[in-house]
Amino acid sequence: MDMSYEAVMARKGEIMKRAIGIDYDEFESGSIAFDYERMMRETGYTLQEIQKIQSETNVGNTPLLELKNLTKLARKYAPKGKGARIFIKDEAANPSGSFKARRAATACYHAEKLGYKGVIAATSGNYGSAVASQAAMRGLRCIVVQECYDSRGVGQPEIIEKARKCEAFGAEVVQLTVGPELFYTFLVLLEETGYFNASLYSPFGIAGVETLGYEIAMQFREREGRDPDAVVVTNAGGGNLTGTARGLLKAGAQSKVIGASVDLSGLHMASDIQFNKKSFTTGHTGFGVPFATWPDRSDVPRSAARPLRYLDRYVTVNQGSVFYMTEALAQLEGIERGPAGNTSLAAAFYLAQEMDEDQIIVVQETEYTGAGKHIQPQLTFARKNGIEILIGDPSEEVPGKNIILPKDPGYIKAKDLDVDKLRKSYIRNCINNYKVEKVTEEDIKFLAEDTKSNEEFVKEVLDELGVKY
């Protein structure tokens, strides 16, 4: 068999079909549109089935905590009568220490059910340890393919920390340098082993996160007699936001869904030189924006993570603000957690100051922390890579050049991204990637749903692009 890069990439469709057990062609329309809801319904599980699956391996039903001291602090900087109550859903209580255990529980159950002997995940993040943990419980072998190093063989403390966690659960970790070899190696391993592709972006992977959104609604109703006004979700590949929003909708909640990412604009995630210039491995704009505007860049033909379908608002925060809020959470609330959830916490701290005192804003997840994920090793690593650490106004931060810790909490801000601009980029990417000269009525309806807009908006964008309909 030809194992050259070109040959393996040419076989990716058949490799993926064997490794995930889904014939995506069944849901295609032959153009831009595909039947997203039918795919979710027919290849996934019901919410009740997923709750049962997750309960078998102690996943889910995590605590909901009110951050009373951070709420008080936010109110000090808010206009009179403003300062919503801040809550946090403590997903670090899951077996592997993050919400991704919900995805992994469903994926590993499905792999075992279909008779696969092992699972493979391509990730440098918490998902690897989640899959390793769930695979261990179900007696499956596990390989984690991790983009870890630059060309000098230097890896970020947080990524190396996660590799140790994967190995602790018995997984084999294949560590690679940044670049196209990640997907190539992933495909080769799937083909050679015949293992299951525990993709982050499969229908059952995304459906695994629906329980999180559903729990948030149910817990608030029991505790406060109402739904939260806003749910802030750290956004990277879009699965976290998609699954949570779908769970909220299944509970009948009308909470506003706000995405939050660390602003790493100007840094290229696939650049060998810039790979170690960032201090966050996920939850940043380098993933959040590209995946929002083209979700099907993932390792499956059609990604079930489609954040623009559900986003009401999208904000960014600076690296320094997230580091600051990580310490504030520990020192004011006695809760020590890792960086990803603190991205949405930094955003929520600012957004709470826009809201009324009787309103509720919830940070949708936390994650575990560990030796490589603490602030100190991350900032030390940044210094070693020529990043200047300053105290001042984080809005003046330049990713790849400095990290600015806020002088005081009043300097923590969240900046809005233009969601309509993202919607337009997504529609443009659909036209370019599918090379269509004329779109159908079905395509227009799909694009309106996929961007949470309307057919009028879609037609205006198509007119700008000179596309017939």
The one-digit pLDDT tens for each residue of the chain (469 residues) are 899 999 999 998 889 889 998 989 999 998 899 999 999 998 878 999 999 999 999 999 999 999 999 999 999 999 999 999 999 999 999 999 999 999 999 999 999 999 999 999 998 789 999 999 999 999 999 999 998 898 899 988 999 999 999 999 999 999 998 888 888 999 999 999 999 999 989 998 999 999 999 999 999 999 999 999 999 999 999 999 999 999 999 999 999 999 999 999 998 887 888 889 988 888 999 999 999 999 999 888 899 999 999 999 999 999 999 999 999 999 999 999 998 899 999 999 999 999 999 999 999 999 999 888 899 999 999 999 999 999 999 999 999 999 999 999 999 999 999 999 999 999 999 999 999 889 999 999 999 999 999 999 999 999 999 999 9
Nearest Cα residue to 197 out of 137, 235, 142, 125: 142
Hunting for tokens 């403390």 — which residue is that?
157
- Check: CB of residue 231 under 8 Å from CB of residue 364: yes
Burial 96-134 (b: 16+ CB within 10 A, else e): bbbbbbbbbbbbbbbbbeeebebbbbbbbbbbbbbbbbb
Backbone dihedral angles phi then psi of residue 278, each to the nearest 5 degrees: -105, 150
Look at residue 337 in the predicted model and tell me its pLDDT: 96
**Which structure tokens are listed for 466?**
């000179």
The number of angstroms, rounded, from the C-alpha of 195 to the middle of its chain's C-alpha atoms is 24
- Check: CB of residue 60 under 8 Å from CB of residue 208: no
- Check: CB of residue 146 under 8 Å from CB of residue 163: yes
CA dist., res. 123 & res. 139, Å (int): 21
Look at residue 188 in the predicted model and tell me its pLDDT: 96
Hunting for tokens 């040959």 — which residue is that?
7
Burial 386-417 (b: 16+ CB within 10 A, else e): ebeeeeeebeebebbebbbbbeebebbbbeeb
pTM: 0.96
CA dist., res. 398 & res. 104, Å (int): 35
CA dist., res. 287 & res. 282, Å (int): 7
Look at residue 456 in the predicted model and tell me its pLDDT: 97
Look at residue 346 in the predicted model and tell me its pLDDT: 98
**Which structure tokens are listed for 344?**
């949405």
Hunting for tokens 């559900």 — which residue is that?
310
Q: Which residues contact 374 (CB under 8 A, 6 or more apart)?
A: none
Q: Which residues contact 115 (CB under 8 A, 6 or more apart)?
A: none
Looking from the CA of 353 toward its CB, the CA atoms found within 13 Å total: 20
- Check: CB of residue 257 under 8 Å from CB of residue 273: no
The number of angstroms, rounded, from the C-alpha of 4 to the middle of its chain's C-alpha atoms is 31
**Which structure tokens are listed for 201?**
């972006």
CA dihedral 430, 432, 435, 441 (to 10 degrees): 30
